[in-house]
Amino acid sequence: MSVLEATSVTKRFGGLTAVKDVSLVVNEGEVVGLIGPNGAGKTTFFNCLTGMETPTAGSVLYKGSQLPGRPDLITKAGVARTFQNIRLFNNMTALENVMVGRHTRTKAGVLAAVGRGPRYHREERESEEKARELLTFVGLGRVGDELAKSLPYGDQRRLEIARALATEPGLLLLDEPTAGMNPNETAAARDLVRAVQGKGIAVVLIEHDMRFVFGLCDRVAVLVQGEKLLEGSPAEVQSDERVIAAYLGKPTEDTAGES
Amino acid sequence: MQTFLQQLVNGVVLGATYGLVALGYTMVYGIVQLINFAHGEIYMLGGFGALFTYTVLLPGGTPVVLALVLMLLGGMVVSITAALLMERFAYRPLRGAPRLAPLITALGVSIFLQELVRNFYPAKSPRPFPQLVDPSHQFSLGASVEISAPRLLTVVVAVIGMVALSTFVRRSRTGRAMQATAQDPDTARLMGIDTDRIIVTAFVLGAALAAVSGLASGLQFGTVDPRMGFLTGVKAFTAAVLGGIGNISGAVLGGFTLGIVEVMATQYAPDPFSGGAWKDAWAFVVLILVLVFRPSGLLGERVAARA
Amino acid sequence: MQAPRLVRVAAPLIIGALVLSACGSKSESGSGSGNITLTLGVIAPLSGDLSAVGNGIKNGVELAIKQANENKTIKGVTLKLDAEDDTAKAEVGAQVAAKLVADSSVIGVVGPLNSSVAKSTAPVLSQANIASISPSNSNVDLTNRGVLATGGTQTRPYKSYFRVCATDDIQGPFAADYAVKDLGKKTIAIVHDKKAYGQGLAEAFAKQAKADGATVLPTETINPGDKDFSAIVTKLKAAKPDFLFYGGEYPEASLLTKQMKAGGLNIPLMGGDGVDAAEYIKIAGASANGDLATALGAPTDSLASAKQFLTDYKAAAYADPADPYGAASYDAANAIIKALAKAVGDGKKSGQAVRDEVTKEVQDSDFEGVTGKISFDQFGDTNTKILTVYSVKDGKFVAAKSGTFGG
């Protein structure tokens, strides 16, 4: 069964069509790469999937049912994401960041907190335990009480993933998870995505690091100028001349022929 | 020395009210960057709600403690209802509008609420407020430094309110969601937080604390009047800015600082700039000095780091 | 002095004249029917903290108008009331005064309550030469009485402004004499609210108290609207005064006396007529016992001449009490009604002519009103300067001493 089924998603901003008629299917446990030059509409496509933008046309099904139109409800349904520019809650600790991610999976409201009943305490305790587990899972087990803004860059990316995982998603959207990372950190990120996959969570990732993408993804889709150019296995995509042309930016017959 | 200590006590009592009301300003500002000038009126409505509960709803001879609890609940109901309505109908439609629009709306709401209460309680303002806590009952704090029962109560409930709120915000699920929304509303939404509800929660909590303060003020002064929210609102807002608007501990610190500066200016400022009439001028001198050296207020760092 | 005043008067004068000429023709056409309607204006705070007092003024005037219409005191004229709410604010006062000026049927005004408001209404009304009589303005500047204290020559600032009450320069000293000579107080604290009324009263009190030999502490001031006076109480307590004089009004005075007594400063608070209100005692409760207030005139219910007025007032079943200024307002209204009757008798029925004539006749008023003899000196001040000290006993203001003060 497919986790995500996006059909003919289109997003126009005034006269500009940022995403045009893009369809994408993600199956359970899959890691799908989304590549394309800057400005190809990859992030806008993510925004359409997570409710930050409302698609002008097209439909998005998550596990067979229509996604609601609001970001918070989409998260609740099971779609989580990270950001190209890290967007952590800087003035909260790493642990608190992850606990915020658990918001939809907990219930206690204002009254429960004021009353401080047993359910509230139990839920808080469980929530903290789960958050600590997730921090350990992404390799941040020891920095839980540090402020998010004081963490090194690579750790911040991992914290974002932990926070997204805390929402207990079925589908995780990663927007350039290795941007700004050194080779060691990139390797760790690859392991982390595999571990996430191991939990049975489907992943879609936007990435510019081709080695990372082709080494990790089960399938890769290429977006150019808002349209899906092609989709296939890493090998297929890697060898497609249009991809090379799009990436090199000069589609001369010579280079295409040589490869 | 005695005089100094007594003035310190006076300042703490004054600051307790400022701080409690300032929390409402700072919470709403922290989350929606709205200076809710009508918050002073929410405080006033808390006082009138408590008075209404006492005079209309409570049967004579209700035990004092029970009466106080019910009056507090009555005040909260009125304050919270008003806050909910103003959020829903005055501010929410303007979310995303230029900053000036909600600001002017807030002033309009403030005047509207004042006049509304004036029309409910015409002609004879200020209204006498039942003296359920005997003001002539004095507690001695050592060498002829005294605090009357209702003034002590004001400080006690203010401190309880402040501690409860700050614990709530730091330690509870909803509190964390409030912090998250304050720091980055879009991302908060993507973490599954219904930010509309969080905004409503901020208004409700602010209103509840303002109602506590409104009741305490009624008990302390023995009157409530429709314009009482204006001056207190201005002072509380000043306290919030002084402490660093958006910062909860800052609002409390700002409230006490402002209260103490005011009384000390009354007592010690040099002639001809001494006395009650100049206390506000001194309070603003301190505000300006703080803002010159710490533009985001005493504890304003956390807000400055936003975005 | 002349030039700026000229500039200040010019603009409203022109506007007023334009409006008048526009409206004049209208009322002339109305007068053809034989019975014309003219208007007596009231400017007073009808809403807000002082509305109880303001409504007392309005009611006193309304009663006088009703009786004049019933008795047909003014031949061929039906008088109606136009009560304007000044909300106790000077700028609002100026607006409503301009509104009354613009209405050509307005032939006189009773009010306003506050001296600070009168300072903005008197110039407007005087430019149109509309007689205005205040039942309660006690600030000296309004008739330029202030110069008397320094031996200057008094000149009249507002040619159609009158008042039927005594002034601060008398109220303050009268209170001071009572405190120092009758009560034997020696160390007196002074607090005022910085408004024209409160400050004028407090300064006049302080001056006379010093002259009477008491020690007067440095003046403390508060802001109208303040509620927490604990800092001032603590400060004053250290100086050990045996008496406090407050220049201002009851909303602050009642909280001040309460906090004084709760804070262990058990001395009487004395105020002017702004403190002489039932609300003062209601709010201050037991703390008010022993506190004092002066009021202009003699207590209405102590005057034989006021019996009928009080009966009529009661019969009219007004929501707000006649005191403190209902009776004086009734007298003020009657001064204008009598003047109008003479003016109409002289054939002056409309336009500027009737306003001019009414002002002239008010100046020459000489009759026994319910509060005493009504007549004015050349500056618009009453010749009858009676004051009374009241003290709070068992939750009521009780007259302690009535009299006149030297000036």
Write out pLDDT tens, residues C243-257. 999 999 999 999 999
Task: Give the residue from chain C lying closest to B148, CA to CA.
Answer: C262
CB A44 within 8 A of CB A18: yes
Q: CA of C402 to nearest chain B CA: how many angstroms apart?
A: 28
CB C326 within 8 A of CB C314: no
Write down all domains in chain C, each with its CATH number in brackets.
2-166+303-376 (3.40.50.2300), 168-296+387-404 (3.40.50.2300)
Q: CA of C104 to nearest chain B CA: how many angstroms apart?
A: 31
> Is 1.10.3470 the CATH number for B2-133+146-304?
yes
One-letter-per-residue 3-state SS of chain A: CEEEEEEEEEEEECCEEEEEEEEEEEECCCEEEEECCCCCCHHHHHHHHHCCCCCCEEEEEECCEECCCCHHHHHHHCEEECCCCCCCCCCCEHHHHHHHHCHHHCCCCHHHHHHCCHHHHHHHHHHHHHHHHHHHHHCCCCCCCCEHHHCCHHHHHHHHHHHHHHCCCCEEEEECCCCCCCHHHHHHHHHHHHHHHHCCCEEEEECCCHHHHHHHCCEEEEEECCEEEEEECHHHHHHCHHHHHHHHCCCCHHHHHHC
> Is 3.30.450.20 the CATH number for A2-78+169-258?
no
B1, B10, B55, B219: best mutation site toward chain C, by most C Cβ within 10 Å? Answer: B10
Q: Which residue in this structure is represented by tokens 């506050």?
A: C114
Q: Which of A67, A81, A238, A94 is nearest to A169 (CA)?
A: A81
How far apart CA C64 and CA C80 sit, in angstroms, is 11
A-contacting residues in B 172-191 (Cβ below 8 Å): 172-177, 179-180, 183-184, 186-191
Predicted local distance difference test score (pLDDT) of residue B300: 74
Task: Give the residue from chain B lying closest to A95, CA to CA.
Answer: B176
Predicted local distance difference test score (pLDDT) of residue C25: 41
Predicted local distance difference test score (pLDDT) of residue C34: 56
Q: CA of B204 to nearest chain A CA: how many angstroms apart?
A: 10
CB within 8 Å: B173 and A81: no
C94 touches B at CB < 8 Å: no
**Residue A206 — pLDDT band, cuts 50, 70, 90?**
very high
Task: Give A66-86 pLDDT, tens digit per residue.
Answer: 888 889 999 999 999 999 889
Region of residue C59 (phi > 0: left; psi between -120 and 50: alpha; otherwise: beta): alpha
C282 touches B at CB < 8 Å: yes
Contacts of C47 (CB under 8 A, 6+ apart): B118, B122, B123, C85, C87
**For range C14-34, the mean pLDDT:** 44
Chain B residues within 8 A of A92 when measuring between CB atoms:
176, 179-180, 183
B126 touches C at CB < 8 Å: yes
Question: In the structure, how many helices (H) and strands (E) does chain C have?
Answer: 13, 15
Q: Which regions of chain B are under pLDDT 50?
A: 302-307
Of the candidates B176, B186, B190, the beta carbon closest to that of A99 is on B176
Chain B residues within 8 A of A52 when measuring between CB atoms:
186, 189-190
Per-domain boundaries in chain B: 2-133+146-304
**Residue A109 — pLDDT band, cuts 50, 70, 90?**
low
**For range A162-187, the mean pLDDT:** 91
Task: Give the residue from chain C lying closest to B276, CA to CA.
Answer: C222
In this predicted structure, the answer to whether residue A116 has a pLDDT above a threshold of 70 is no
Predicted local distance difference test score (pLDDT) of residue B122: 64
Please report, for residues B126, B151, B205, B206, C153, the alpha-carbon distance to residue B79 in angstroms, rounded to integers and kept in the order given.
Answer: 19, 22, 10, 9, 58
Percentage of chain B modeled with pLDDT above 90: 58
Chain A residues within 8 A of B171 when measuring between CB atoms:
113, 124
Per-domain boundaries in chain A: 2-78+169-258, 90-155
Of the candidates A51, A52, A92, the beta carbon closest to that of B179 is on A92
B-contacting residues in C 182-221 (Cβ below 8 Å): 191, 194, 218-221
Q: Which of B288-292, C166-170, C189-193 has the highest mean pLDDT?
A: C189-193
Which range among A60-74, A114-128, C57-71 shows the weakest confidence by mean pLDDT?
A: A114-128
Predicted local distance difference test score (pLDDT) of residue B304: 36
